[in-house]
């Protein structure tokens, strides 16, 4: 009998998002999350597969079993509006928490919400991303047991994390948990809650951060190398430093040396943003993901990338509330130090317009290109007709060159190759100068 599990069906096709949910629920303890040579977290088969196929049932990359319905998650009695991209929602708000925004990535509303749940005794533990004590990674999901500890997890981490260890902890330990994750991991967690009732009972709230795409650990490794550092010589990194910026969209990357001093700043309008917007070190699974707003989450938090808010360097959050209790928290926000006002669903979509276009308008073409090259995408996405001609051949060469340079930039153990880091940095700088020249010509 041919063995079917996430390793053969998903990892072998490079379609794994690295959430780790499959490893947490594996009955035979046959899976273990590891970094591959591309710096991506993927499950590896380390034991005997029990052929239960539970890993396939919880995998976000697959459509196994009945689809998850919002009515089953949020209750049939909840008065929810619907949007084709955002899913069901009770209300949408924009604003910030005055106590949390200075130490948060945007307006601090995710941290504020977790704090409120602690204070109202709705939860006794929260799962969010913090610093990792492990030698092979900078960050991982950690268990926070009080509102006072939330400050250690209050900033965005553009770094791969997996939830296998914390989900195993929840399976072993009773409690009322809230968890914050990216949309792909939210889907996996919801599927696991359906398959394993204990998780449904103990995880009371599942929150999401809107996500355009993920990155491998080599994304941080490249930025560290550009700053003259390596992971081994770093105490921590900050992906969203904004104290010296004049605009919320132009945050900076910085790293703290083991000795305590901070590196030079790499701003998003320079090398940092060129690397991110160019989709370097992005896992292949992200090319076939249409989930930006996590419609299965109790609430989704995102930056308010709108002209009237980006001028405030301290950041502003948008909250899409789906759970009735979260909606009630939003309505009483002013008394708890948060300043919120309603925002239309059209403005929510506009705030993420670039990522939304990539995940919807251009997705059918990416799927068609992949299947033309022999990769079968195991989800019911629409397919477009792949155009021919010189432009398509140039696009194929460009994407191939990007992947090639990414692979050459790091050796198999994950250490940066200085020559190829310099080549990639020069390429990104050249692209940035060309775009600036085109913009100036357009104005003239």
pLDDT tens-place string over residues 1-27: 467 899 999 999 999 999 999 999 999
**Residue 76 pLDDT:** 56
Section 374-381 average pLDDT = 85
pLDDT tens-place string over residues 84-128: 999 999 999 999 998 888 777 789 999 999 999 999 999 999 999
**Residue 243 pLDDT:** 73
Q: Would you say residue 1 lies in a domain?
A: no
Angle between helices 390-409 and 217-226 (to 10 degrees): 70
Ramachandran region, residue 49 (left: φ > 0; alpha: ψ -120 to 50; beta: rest):
beta
Section 175-198 average pLDDT = 96
Looking only at the bridges linking them, the beta strands covering 299-303 and 203-209 are parallel
Q: Would you say residue 150 lies in a domain?
A: no
Q: Would you say residue 126 lies in a domain?
A: no
Check which CATH number belongs to the domain holding 14 and give it: 3.30.70
Residues of the domain holding 36:
6-58
Q: Would you say residue 44 lies in a domain?
A: yes
Q: Would you say residue 85 lies in a domain?
A: no
Q: What is the mean pLDDT of the chain?
A: 91
**Residue 2 pLDDT:** 62
Q: Would you say residue 298 lies in a domain?
A: no
Q: How far is CA 153 from CA 56, 64, 104, 109, 417, in A?
A: 31, 33, 9, 13, 31
Number of domains in the chain: 1
Section 372-400 average pLDDT = 85
Q: Would you say residue 175 lies in a domain?
A: no
**Residue 266 pLDDT:** 93
pLDDT tens-place string over residues 271-320: 999 999 999 999 999 999 999 999 999 999 999 999 999 988 888 999 99
Q: Would you say residue 37 lies in a domain?
A: yes
pLDDT tens-place string over residues 20-65: 999 999 998 999 999 999 999 999 999 888 888 999 999 999 987 7
């Amino acid at each position: 009998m041919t063995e079917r599990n996430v390793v053969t069906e998903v990892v072998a096709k490079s379609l794994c998002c690295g959430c780790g949910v499959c490893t947490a629920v594996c009955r035979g303890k046959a899976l273990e999350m590891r970094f591959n040579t591309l710096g991506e977290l993927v499950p590896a088969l380390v034991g005997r597969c029990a052929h239960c196929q539970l890993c396939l049932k919880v995998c976000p990359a697959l459509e196994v079993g009945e689809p998850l319905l919002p009515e089953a998650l949020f209750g049939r009695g909840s008065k929810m509006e619907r949007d084709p991209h955002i899913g069901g929602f009770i209300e949408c708000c924009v604003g910030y928490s005055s106590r949390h925004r200075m130490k948060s990535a945007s307006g601090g509303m995710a941290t504020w919400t977790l704090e409120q749940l602690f204070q109202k005794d709705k939860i006794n533990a929260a799962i969010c991303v913090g610093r990792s004590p492990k030698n092979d990674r900078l960050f991982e999901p950690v268990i926070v047991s009080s509102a006072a500890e939330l400050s250690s997890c209050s900033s965005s981490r553009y770094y791969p994390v997996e939830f296998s260890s914390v989900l195993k902890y929840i399976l072993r330990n009773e409690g009322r948990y809230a968890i914050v994750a990216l949309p792909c991991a939210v889907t996996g967690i919801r599927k696991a809650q359906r398959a394993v009732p204990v998780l449904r009972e103990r995880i009371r709230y599942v929150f999401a951060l809107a996500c355009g795409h993920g990155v491998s650990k080599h994304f941080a490794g490249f930025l560290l190398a550009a700053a003259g550092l390596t992971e081994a010589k770093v105490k921590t990194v900050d992906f969203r430093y904004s104290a010296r910026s004049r605009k919320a969209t132009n945050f900076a990357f910085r790293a703290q040396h083991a000795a305590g001093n901070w590196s030079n700043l790499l701003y998003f309008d320079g090398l940092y943003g060129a690397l991110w917007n160019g989709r370097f070190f992005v896992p292949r699974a992200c090319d076939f993901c249409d989930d930006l707003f996590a419609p299965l989450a109790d609430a989704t938090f995102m930056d308010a990338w709108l002209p009237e808010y980006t001028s405030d360097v301290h950041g502003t959050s948008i909250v899409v509330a789906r759970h009735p209790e979260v909606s009630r928290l939003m309505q009483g926000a002013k008394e708890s130090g948060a300043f919120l006002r309603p925002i239309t669903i059209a403005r929510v979509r506009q705030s993420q317009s670039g990522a939304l276009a990539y995940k919807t308008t251009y997705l059918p073409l990416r799927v068609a290109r992949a299947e033309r090259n022999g990769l079968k995408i195991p989800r019911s996405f629409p397919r477009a007709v792949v155009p021919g001609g010189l432009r398509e051949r140039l696009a194929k060469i460009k994407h191939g060159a990007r992947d090639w340079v990414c692979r050459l930039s790091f050796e198999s153990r994950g250490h940066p190759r200085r020559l190829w880091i310099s080549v990639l940095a020069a390429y990104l700088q050249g692209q940035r100068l060309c775009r600036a020249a085109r913009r100036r010509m357009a104005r003239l």
